[in-house]
Structure 1
């Protein structure tokens, strides 16, 4: 028997399987596998990677049954965007980062030996997302200094191996959304975070042309429009 959550969504490993005639409301993060191209079509808010349909944005999975005129006969998986929320109503963070917390961060500055970031979400599990915060996580214009916690990602904490070969601007760019873990509560100004581990790294990025990017390998992301490849420390889709 398959386990099901409160929304009737079947959970099989990391794959979220939804009924072809119901609306699945499972919360997902970018990179999460939500279906397969053998059984579903990829809709807005998703992308295809290695025959798997993955989330491109943060939100709830929606399944639309195939129409009578559809040639494929497959239902479509999509993730609707949440309407923008006025920046005059800043996001209130009620959970403080703690040691080993999983966080989503926006990179705000990249230097030779470290990167600065703003912590957007604490304990970044798909089941703990608050709908009101979704647009802020993908926004690149929100002023984060007064709203979010500050964090530092040192060069030696980017990955677990070949630390002496790490180049910061080949791992992250300003505006990247990164999944990381808190390794130290740091000082009064900054938390210390790490992306050491396959599940940690960049989950959302835009190319130099401003287009959305999708994972190409553990160290590369590809422009979804032009196909151009850029270097990143990429989080493995989960």
Structure 2
């Protein structure tokens, strides 16, 4: 049940970002306006997700080693209180954001939006997008889709043939789904920032490259059971990340030198 809840929260985050991406404001390149308007939702959702995953992993580990007795520590109690408090804020902000995103003015052109667009854009910027980065991100997305399916199948294989404890299996699976969410957001923002030559989404994608790299290293070396196939497929991901880091750096320098106001 904990895994289902965490995956549900993750998909809620993905859905709300997809709704952001669908607005006319986002498509016009005014990402900063969306972030400013929905900062509370973004922050509260992130905090609630981290608290929920932490609470669920902690309680699963405690109860796995003490299955015949009720376990509830002071630290777990404190984390539970914070997680429940964050849940109230999360559901309030999430529902409020969904209602706000139903405003038809967010999905159509208007004089106010035009004024904001020209105020932020100024004169048309030079074309600085990197075709090589766009191709690399596309290949990365297809490869990661195959990688995710392969990892799920490998987890099934390992759980059947190896002495995998439920706590460790739960942890590895939760991290894999977290990895999926990070990669989806990273690749989308990277492509969006590259094509629109916007520093904000481009920088977000660059920052998310760090957690993606850590996840790849974890599944290559540090997870409970590592197969040779996993070493290979994660090493290929790291090669993608190295080349993307180089192109991110080139793109960010180019965008910073240009007269583009985020």
User: TM-score, length-normalised on structure 2?
Assistant: 0.23
User: TM-score, length-normalised on structure 1?
Assistant: 0.24
Work out which structure has the larger RCO, using CA pairs closer than 8 Å and 6 or more positions apart in sequence.
2
